[in-house]
């Protein structure tokens, strides 16, 4: 079942493995993707080995600070295999990963799926 906001939307995948991502950087990439597709609807599908809704904590700032676009956040699964199954046959989906050394990134690289690493806050003083 496709929701109305998902039609003609910018679809992106985010892999959250536990690093605290720079939500500003992610938000800018999502806005750029939506602008390129001339839409204000963004569908962000989350893949994470973290228990639900733990992964939402890493996206709280993104969700709370979004006031200009329709943002739909859905959960896709917890394994790289589920992610590959979702991406199979879909070419126009941007994939963002919070850790380039995760099993998700390894599987994506092995399968030739392009992805972008979202900078994290790890190692920075708060």
Residue 11 has a pLDDT of 96
- Contact present, 13 and 45 (Cβ < 8 Å): yes
Q: Which residue has the tokens 């809704």?
A: 53
Task: Give the pLDDT band (50/70/90) at residue 2.
Answer: low
pLDDT tens digits for 19-68? 888 888 999 999 999 999 999 999 999 999 998 778 888 888 888 887 78
Angstrom distances, CA of residue 23 to CA of 31, 62, 63, 112:
12, 6, 9, 26
Q: What pLDDT does residue 125 have?
A: 40
CATH architecture designation of domain 4-117: 3-Layer(aba) Sandwich (3.40)
What span, in angstroms and rounded, lies between the C-alpha atoms of 20 and 36? 27
**Residue-range domain boundaries for the chain:** 4-117
DSSP-derived 3-state class of residue 120: strand
Average pLDDT estimate for 101-116: 96
Indicate the pTM of the whole model.
Answer: 0.87
Calculate mean pLDDT across residues 107-111: 96
- Looking at residue 21, the DSSP 8-state letter turns out to be B
Average pLDDT taken over every residue of the chain: 88
Which pLDDT score, from 0 to 100, does residue 1 have?
54
Q: What are the structure tokens assigned to 70, written together?
A: 């329709």
Q: Is the pLDDT assigned to residue 121 strictly greater than 50?
A: yes
């Amino acid at each position: 079942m496709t929701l109305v906001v998902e039609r003609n939307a910018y679809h992106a995948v985010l892999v959250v493995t536990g690093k605290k991502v720079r939500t500003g950087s992610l938000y800018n990439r999502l806005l750029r993707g939506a602008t390129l597709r001339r839409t204000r609807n963004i569908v962000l599908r989350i893949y994470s080995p973290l228990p639900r809704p733990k992964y939402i904590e890493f996206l709280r700032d993104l969700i709370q600070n979004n006031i200009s676009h329709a943002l739909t956040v859905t959960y896709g699964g917890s394994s790289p295999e589920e992610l590959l199954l979702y991406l199979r046959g879909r070419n126009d989906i941007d994939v963002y990963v919070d850790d380039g050394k995760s099993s998700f990134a390894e599987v994506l690289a092995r399968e030739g799926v392009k992805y972008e690493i979202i900078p994290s806050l790890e190692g920075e003083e708060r």
